Structure 1
């Protein structure tokens, strides 16, 4: 009979950092975080939200904090592995077990937990509203079309706007406008057939 307990992550036999990663796991186990497996490795969550993960790589092993940007980083150990790409994730890399300080790691983890409890997260940037002048003119001139258009969600309205504005030439914009008018009247979203 299978156990109802979640399976713990087992390190691949080729991983050079088994002992070191198990040490990190022992440190994290002292906190209220719950171990899960995501993206093929251990990720630790609080109330279902990702707080940190650990892993071993070719030349280092480490901890990554999903909202590490909010950590004070008093020891100046956190790095952004993909500058300009990664917004809030920060890594703490180690090259040997001797670099691992239980008290320092626990301090960072407790701060990450406190930040999670207060809801510190980076909100995804909202897309700038795209307005198609051509579509707006059609809506202004045809109240029935405007009423039908308002029945769509904001994202579906944006799809129609983008569809027209992505065309480079005016004749293409006009032909696209003629194509979507019956769709709008029939309450058919631009990409409904793909969903």
Structure 2
């Protein structure tokens, strides 16, 4: 069995959050012709190597996310952003298998549209990063050339994730602590959530 296949099977057999709903979403995605890979600690659905969709089992709901969700037409307004700072991803949220079954045709339509966007090479037009780096990060980068070089080499999304994470606490000492705790991860070129 391929390493990804083993991890995916383990994910579905071990998940305690919304297992029935996640399996139903998986069946739909695979039936729509997407390949299944293991990325970011869970199953990711791709077309010709490009990320199209991902499923999550959160505490409060199961979710089907689209990497370029902001480009989907979404005529019924069913998609939501996963968080306040999400710029491209949009997702469906489900709290029961009956909700998935009720809109399965719509889900399949969205998946087909997402595949067509991938085939067309569609890109989300993200404005230049509008994130203001906290003073503590700017000071750390200035004091540590190795950290600065590694931080600048990160992808825009990884930099954005760190900047938001570092800016969140009200206390300067907490911001400094978060930067220090993230140093090794940044030097390794990894994002905030990557192992």
- Calculate the TM-score normalised by the size of structure 1: 0.59
Structure 2 residue 7 is the aligned partner of structure 1 residue 18: no
Q: Which residue of the partner structure matches residue 77 of structure 1?
A: 78
The structure with higher relative contact order (CA 8 Å, sep 6+) is 2
CA RMSD of aligned residues (A): 2.5
Does the residue aligned with 1:27 lie in a helix, a strand or coil? Answer: helix
Return the offset for 1:115. Answer: 1.0
Unmatched tracts of structure 2, length 5 or more? 131-151, 154-188, 190-195
Q: How many residues align?
A: 128
- Contact preservation (8 Å) 2:44, 2:51: yes
Task: Say if 1:127 and 1:99 are closer, same or farther in 2 by CA, change over 3 A.
Answer: closer
C-alpha distance in structure 2 between counterparts of 1:74 and 1:42, whole Å: 27
Indicate the residue corresponding to 1:7 in structure 2.
Answer: 5
1-side partners of 2:29 and 2:40: how far apart? 19
Q: Secondary structure at the match of 2:107?
A: helix
Which residue does 1:115 correspond to in 2?
A: 117
Q: Deviations over 1:4-42 (max 9, x none)?
A: 474151336351311111111111111121101111111
Distance 1:74-1:34 versus aligned 2 partners, 3 A rule: same
CA distance in 2, matches of 1:27, 1:127: 35
Gaps in structure 1 of 5+ consecutive residues:
129-154, 157-194
Q: How far 1:94 sits from its partner (Å)? A: 0.6
